[in-house]
Chains A and B, each alone.
Chain A
């Protein structure tokens, strides 16, 4: 892509950056949901007697 002035260059790059940042915001929510979707309790012999642990702390 050709730019004839600094203004054109920044119009392009800033527009693309804002679009990317919007995408990142959506991606961050999806990533958070994926990250926090735990499946099974911790299997640790040192933690016997503590009851069921769902991995969300105590």
Chain B
């Protein structure tokens, strides 16, 4: 019989565990307050701002940054770039956790979690964009779970189940790409119903296209960013195959992301021209729009190109962080900063501390689960019994 000694206990007291432990305890306390006291007890939401940072950050940013799953899987299985295969499992795991946490975060905003199946199975609002978003997230989360399951089955040694699912990989990937295209864009389409509330520089009939194209850049950048973090902190879990292909993944995704950001910048300029909104650039919101477009779109596109040309991996990794920040800034601008732009500053929304705690708590849960899974299951390495069987 084993006993827990003082040394065992001390080995758990790492800085990572202490910080994440404190965040999780704080998050659980706020969770109790939210579900017993309601939204008013923990948020600054009001009639002008029924959606706060739980939607802006946890949902809009969470979905965009989880796009690495479908972009990497599509690059590997649909477009045939097999050299990116080693990046698929970490990307799918990140996407699966990202989407699962989006659903979890939505519970805080919507409340009454036991009614989660209602929009899909009981009372479908088929004319609502939110129904499309909900249906796509539900289906895509299921697809991501099925894409992730072979990793779990390899870990548990359930060969038959694993082999059956691996045969379905291409179908699942295609289904996942279709679903992602639909709901990434429909998140943007949600804001087309508020033309009088959203500032003209951010409002456009092309919002669905902007959201979809920028999600590709977000996904590619997240794979680079998450890969570099994993290289630093989980290097011991990586096999030679992963290490050999890592540089190809970073360079290939940097080139792809530069190209996508160029296209995104061009599309935004077309949107600006089509609505003849140039005059708004000479205002405070215009200056902020220019900061977003030049510092978080044009600059990363250029830096990615320079990094890919010069094979400057450090530059590419910093650019990935800049791009991820840019997507966060864009989603915040659309859903909060430029939303209700006509309201006086005293009526503007600023998140309450407990809202921020929940957002940090949800991200922390994601990091902890990612670490738990990737240090046990064959995510960064090929299982010895299944080498080359993908």
Residue of B nearest to A19 (CB): B273
Judge whether A52 is part of the interface by a CB distance below 8 angstroms. no
Q: Contact: B273 with A37, CB < 8 Å? A: no
Query: Complex Cα distance A37/B317, Å?
Result: 20
Query: Complex Cα distance A28/B264, Å?
Result: 12
Q: Contact: B244 with A35, CB < 8 Å? A: no
Q: Which one of A9, A32, A40 contacts B311 once the chains associate, using CB atoms below 8 Å?
A: A40
B contact face: mostly helix, strand, loop, or mixed: helix
Q: Which one of B244, B246, B311 contacts A39 once the chains associate, using CB atoms below 8 Å?
A: B311
Q: Contact: B311 with A35, CB < 8 Å? A: no
- A36 contacts across to B, CB distance below 8 A: 255
Judge whether B46 is part of the interface by a CB distance below 8 angstroms. no
Residue of B nearest to A50 (CB): B244
Judge whether B275 is part of the interface by a CB distance below 8 angstroms. yes
Query: Complex Cα distance A14/B244, Å?
Result: 49
Contact A31-B274, Cβ < 8 Å, known A44-B244, A47-B247: no
Q: Contact: A57 with B83, CB < 8 Å? A: yes
- A55 contacts across to B, CB distance below 8 A: 251, 311
Q: Contact: A17 with B309, CB < 8 Å? A: no
Residue of A nearest to B304 (CB): A35
Q: Which of A23-39 contact B (CB under 8 A)?
A: 24, 27-28, 31-32, 34-39
- A42 contacts across to B, CB distance below 8 A: 247-248, 251, 311
Q: Which of B241-272 contact A (CB under 8 A)?
A: 243-244, 246-248, 251, 255, 258-259, 262-263, 266, 269-270
Query: Complex Cα distance A34/B304, Å?
Result: 11
A12 to chain B, nearest CB (A): 7
Q: Contact: B311 with A31, CB < 8 Å? A: no
Interface residues of B, count at CB 8 A: 25
The 0/1 profile, CB within 8 Å of A marked 1, for residues 304-320 of chain B is 01001111000000000
Contact A20-B258, Cβ < 8 Å, known A42-B251, A47-B244: no
Residue of A nearest to B242 (CB): A46
B168 to chain A, nearest CB (A): 28
Contact A38-B311, Cβ < 8 Å, known A31-B305, A47-B244: yes
Residue of B nearest to A34 (CB): B305
Q: Contact: A13 with B274, CB < 8 Å? A: yes
Judge whether A7 is part of the interface by a CB distance below 8 angstroms. no
Query: Complex Cα distance A57/B247, Å?
Result: 11
Contact A40-B276, Cβ < 8 Å, known A28-B262, A46-B244, A55-B251: no
Contact A20-B248, Cβ < 8 Å, known A12-B276, A31-B262, A34-B305: no
Query: Complex Cα distance A57/B240, Å?
Result: 17
B256 to chain A, nearest CB (A): 10
B157 to chain A, nearest CB (A): 29
Contact A27-B251, Cβ < 8 Å, known A13-B273, A38-B311: no
Q: Which of B255, B275, B309 has the most CB of A within 10 A?
A: B309
Query: Complex Cα distance A44/B263, Å?
Result: 31
- B275 contacts across to A, CB distance below 8 A: 13
Q: Contact: B308 with A58, CB < 8 Å? A: no
Q: Contact: A35 with B309, CB < 8 Å? A: yes
Q: Which one of A27, A34, A46, A58 contacts B309 once the chains associate, using CB atoms below 8 Å?
A: A34
- A28 contacts across to B, CB distance below 8 A: 262-263, 266
Q: Which one of A1, A17, A37, A39 contacts B274 once the chains associate, using CB atoms below 8 Å?
A: A17
Q: Contact: A37 with B309, CB < 8 Å? A: yes
- A37 contacts across to B, CB distance below 8 A: 309
Q: Could you list 17 A-B pairs, sorted by A, with CB under 8 Å?
A: A13-B276, A17-B273, A24-B270, A31-B258, A34-B305, A35-B305, A35-B308, A35-B309, A38-B308, A38-B309, A39-B311, A42-B247, A42-B251, A44-B243, A44-B244, A46-B243, A57-B248
Q: Which B residues lie at the A interface, using CB under 8 A?
A: 83, 240, 243-244, 246-248, 251, 255, 258-259, 262-263, 266, 269-270, 273-276, 305, 308-311
7 nearest A-B pairs in the assembled complex, by CB-CB distance: A46-B243, A24-B266, A35-B305, A46-B244, A16-B273, A13-B276, A17-B273
Q: Which A residues lie at the B interface, using CB under 8 A?
A: 1, 9, 12-14, 16-17, 20-21, 24, 27-28, 31-32, 34-44, 46-47, 55, 57-58
